[in-house]
Structure formats: C-alpha cells, structure tokens
A and B are shown apart, each in its own frame.
Chain A
C-alpha cells in the first residue's frame, strides 16, 4: 500500500488542478490557452425546463424512438428539436437571402423596396441547400 500511495501522490508533479481539469505546467505559464473541457450546453439544458420548442415533444420523441433513441430526460428531446429547428431555419434564411438578391439584383426598384411578399421556391432553395452539400434534383415533369 505504501508504494501505491507514493505513486499516486507523485502523479501530478507541478500541475495545478482547476475546475476538475488537469492543466499542464506549460499552460500555467501562459503559452497555451487552456481549453476548459466541460460539456457545453449543460447550463443551457437547465434553462430548457420550461421551454417549449416549436416541434412538440411527442413528435420529436416519435421519430427518435423509431431510430432507437430512448430519451430518459425530456429536456434532451427539447434540445434535439431545437437543433433541428435551427437547422431548418438556417436554410430558410439562406433561401431568403437568395430570394432578396434575385429581387434587387437588376436594380429595378430603387424608390420602393421589394414588396414584402417572399415566396419560397425551389429555385431559391436549391442553391441554399447546395451550400450545405445537399443536392436536390427537381424533375421537369410531374407524373
């Protein structure tokens, strides 16, 4: 027992323990910026207690169950639904940018801005998705 405890005691020779993370000696000097490796979103998860995302929990839970994911914590489900929502809204915003660019590209209307009615079309969606690596092929005809 004596040699074991000596080894344990000698393990971190000069490193400082901060926040449960082992920071090496060189980092303490200021050469390397320490990366705190706590899990992100832990605090955010606490805030999700009374938050209702747009997608209902039942629907997200249904699709997660189909994939084999059994959620123990309802906040996890809300987190996933938030992430999915953000994914789609990012794409929607990109498509909106494309739509606005097309509208004012020719410089037709200088006096009044483009009318506020934007319609999401496949022509706007396709380049927005292409930036994400998703290629959408629209058939020229409908059966």
Chain B
C-alpha cells in the first residue's frame, strides 16, 4: 500500500515535549481535553493492532497526524461543498475528499465490522462559570444587535462603569472674593516677614526682638533724590534712543556725582544709586559697596552695545 497522499508530502517534525504553560484559559483546557482524548484513541488503536507499549514520541506523532487528518477532511469537504454553491456538506463531498486524499473508500465497511472495538467516553462538557446570585450587582447590559446570541453575556456593570471622583469647583462670587482677599493678605504678610528676616529690623518692644519685627525705616538724607533721578529702565531707554549724543550721558553722569558731593557722606542708598548709574555705562566706581545679601543686590543688567 504505497499510496502517496499529496497533502502529506511534507516533513513532519517529531513533536517534542511542549514547554510548560503557567496559565491556561478555558479555551486551552477545552483544546487539551480533546487532545488527550485523541491520544487515548490512538493508544486504543495501537492496542488493537497488537502493540503492548509505545514510545511517547510515536504516540504524539500519531495524535498529531490524526488531528491533522480530521481537520483536513473537514476543510476539504467544505471546499468541495462550496465549490458547487452549497453550504451543507453531503456524503458525496466527503467521499470525493477521501478519494482525493488517497483513502480507499471500498475498504471502509469491512473495517467497520472488525471484531475488537473499543469505545472511548467523550470528554466532559464544562459550563461557563456563573457568578452566584449573591455576588451579582446590577443588571447586565443586553447584547447589541450585531452580537449573536450564543456569545457570552456582558459582565456585571460594576466592572466597567466609571464614576469621577472630583467635585465641581466653587464658583460662588462671595466665596471667590473672600478667597482672593485672604490670599493677598497672606502674600503681603509673607513678603514683609521675609524682608524683616533678611534685612534690618526695628522692634517695638525692648527685650523681644523677634516677635513682631518691623522693617527698619532708614530715612534718606536727600529724600527727593529718588524722585529726581530717572530709574534704571528710563536710563536704558535714554541710552538706546540718543546713541550719538555723548553729552547727554555725561550730563546724566555728572548730575548724581555733583549731588553726592553735596552730601555729608555717601550713604548706602546713594552709593547704590550711583553704582546703578555708572554700571550702565559699563564702568564701576572705586567706592563699590557690595551688599552681602544676594537678594538685595542691585540687578545686574547685561552690557548693552550702543549703536553708533
């Protein structure tokens, strides 16, 4: 019987021990149960043939072949049936399939009548796990129309329904005004305390210095000086606008110098103001007063190149 079946002219690798799977889904269990049944069937056929024992690899090979054979018959019979514009396969489709696969159909009745026959029980049918009544919560969502009826139901709604946990922000006018006012007051307090901690303080109480610090008020000798002198920003703008006029610059420079000589002695504020003015032109005086506190140092502007 050297019949060559064309569908099997491939190299079938010997099935080895499959790697252990830690998780198996119900579909896998389903598949494995039937696979084991096929193995039992193969073993019974081998026993019928006269073998006492068999190699594991041989049994696996035959099981794999049996499974492939059944699947191939099914696929081929379905193809033949659809080839003639039908949907239900009939006996003729199967006969043609078997003939195409090299199977001698005539011998089948004789084989069926052989004496020793073994019957294997079918694998048990497991039902889908049903959540007990006590644990169900809420109504399951019904199937939409595009899902067939034999599909499993939707799970309980508590598994997928989301409830947001944020609250609506308060938009009451009165509450918002209060909030804004209290925030502003807190900011003022924090800033003044910071200034008191980092600068000079005066205290109202003789012994207790730290309880109610007040920022020290240092009177200017020439109070109107800061009002007369232009601020840094204005100086910068003046520099940029009249670029060719050197006289204006020297005038502005001379002004504070002249003013300072009038004073009894250069005070800290004056010196710092002078320092700011002269630093604009890019040069510094000899009498620099570096303030230790970095937060109270004057701002160092980047050197601006004058366009000529």
Contacts and interface: CB of A to CB of B under 8 A. Distances in A.
A135 interface: yes
SS class of chain A's interface: helix, strand, loop or mixed?
Answer: helix
A63 B63 CA distance: 13
A80 B11 CA distance: 25
Interface in B120-138: 120-123, 125
Contacts of B2: 131-132
A100 to B, nearest CB: 9
A62 B33 CA distance: 11
A138 B15 CA distance: 8
Contacts of B252: none
A68 B9 contact: no
B42 A81 contact: no
A120 B12 contact: no
Interface stretch (A8-16, A23-31, A83-91): A83-91
B57 interface: yes
Given A93-B49, A122-B14, A86 B107 contact: yes
Nearest to A125: B58
A69 B120 CA distance: 23
Interface in A40-85: 40-42, 44-45, 47-48, 51-60, 62-72, 76, 79-85
A120 B53 contact: yes
Interface residues of A, number: 69
Interface of A: 39-42, 44-45, 47-48, 51-60, 62-72, 76, 79-96, 99, 116-122, 125, 129, 131-139, 142-143
Q: Kindly list the 9 A-B residue pairs having the minimum CB-CB distance in the complex, ordered from nearest.
A: A67-B74, A69-B74, A120-B54, A56-B122, A64-B74, A92-B49, A67-B75, A133-B4, A58-B122
Given A54-B41, A87-B69, 14 more contacts: A40-B95, A45-B91, A57-B122, A63-B67, A67-B70, A79-B94, A84-B70, A88-B65, A88-B66, A89-B48, A121-B55, A122-B58, A131-B2, A137-B14
Interface of B: 1-6, 8-14, 16-17, 30, 34, 37-38, 41-42, 44-46, 48-55, 57-59, 61-62, 65-67, 69-75, 77-78, 88-89, 91-92, 94-95, 98, 103, 105-109, 111-112, 117-123, 125
